[in-house]
A = this chain, B = another copy of it.
Amino acid sequence: MNKKPNLKDVAKLAGVSAITVSRVLSDPDKVSALLRQKVDSAIRDIGYIRNHAASALASKKSGVLAVIIPSLSNIVFNDVLQGIYQAANAGNMQILLGDCHYSPLQEEKLIATLLSQAPEGIVITGTAQTDYARKLLLQADIPLVQIMELTDQPIDMNIGFSHYQAAYDITQHLLQQGYRAPAFVGARMDPRTQQRLAGFKQAIADWPEPCRSFVQTTAQPSSIKLGGQLLQAVIAGSDNQCDAVFCCNDDLALGALFECKRMNLSVPKDIAICGFNDFEASALVEPAITSVASPRVEMGRRAVEMLLSAAGKGRHSVAPVDVGYSIRVRSST
């Protein structure tokens, strides 16, 4: 068994030095056309593939970016990942992905693990890092982007939108439609869900006319099924007074809608339903569900682009980016 060919083997075959081969690979313009051709065919001949570890060690460039998301099962992050991989691909970067399952402690461990690969940048979800995690990240001294939400005290760069404001707006929309006893239905209760709840509460508090409100939450992960259960709970818990439900995401909203149909409640007449994240299904069910849309793919893409263009520059070289959101008003409200 002949071991894998290396740079020297290619060099020997092409009748040049190793460094010339290296240059053909990373900076072809610095090599004359003749040699370049020779080298290229030698590479193809022996099926040479450059050893990334050696390259990374010598050049101190790992060619990887680290990404930490809280969940692989939440479709929301699919979209973000699509944007991330798109931009990484365009920049010839590999992605090292970690799923911290919404746990800051797991996130801390992941950070330590991923940093050992010497990523040239890191994308991290949200702003709820542990102190030690922040220390590690600062120490690593690489560009970093916190995504999804906005914060006044970013570790470095930041891109996202205000979940608080979006929730405030959609709640206000319910009130404007005449609903006077809205409920917030939330699952998981991660930081962004909490911000949505805060926005909901503030919108109620700010409303000039008197109105009641209800809150039904659980730490369980979101699912369509859970949406049905929580709808039941909120109706029972409000003594049938609740006339509108703001679900912290569209999974719950869909479940709530299906449950209403089963209970023969008319949406939006007996009860209004709105969600968050604007899944495709939300626009296509009957009645279509009002929801909050945000440019997730774009956010992922831009986060990576920010990393790539921040190379070399110091911290906070890029101002926080608000990607915004929009309330998609549909017939469920």
User: Which A residues have a C-beta under 8 Å from some C-beta of B?
Assistant: 47, 49-54, 56-57, 62, 72-73, 75, 78-79, 81-82, 85, 94-97, 99, 112-118, 135-136, 139-140, 223-225, 228, 254-255, 258, 261-262, 280-281, 284-286
Contact = CB atoms under 8 A, between A and B. Distances in A.
Contacts of A117: 52-53, 94
**This chain's copy number in the assembly:** 2
Given A78-B75, A117-B94, A53 B50 contact: no
Contacts of A85: 72, 97, 99
Contact of A78 (B51, B72, B228, B255): B72
Contacts of A118: 51-53
A120 to B, nearest CB: 12
B286 A51 contact: no
A95 B97 contact: yes
Nearest to A57: B53
Given A47-B135, A50-B116, A95-B97, 20 more contacts: A47-B136, A47-B139, A49-B112, A51-B118, A52-B53, A52-B116, A53-B56, A53-B57, A53-B62, A53-B118, A75-B75, A94-B96, A94-B113, A223-B280, A224-B280, A224-B284, A228-B284, A258-B284, A258-B286, A281-B281
Contacts of A224: 280-281, 284
Contacts of A254: 281, 284
6 contacts: A49-B115, A53-B54, A57-B57, A72-B82, A95-B97, A223-B280
A115 to B, nearest CB: 5
A81 B72 contact: yes
A73 B78 contact: yes
Contact of A286 (B50, B62, B81, B261): B261
Most B CB contacts (10 A, CB to CB) among A82, A94, A285 go to: A94
Nearest to A139: B47
A89 to B, nearest CB: 8
Nearest to A285: B258
Contacts of A47: 135-136, 139
Contacts of A97: 85, 95, 97
A285 to B, nearest CB: 6
A297 to B, nearest CB: 9
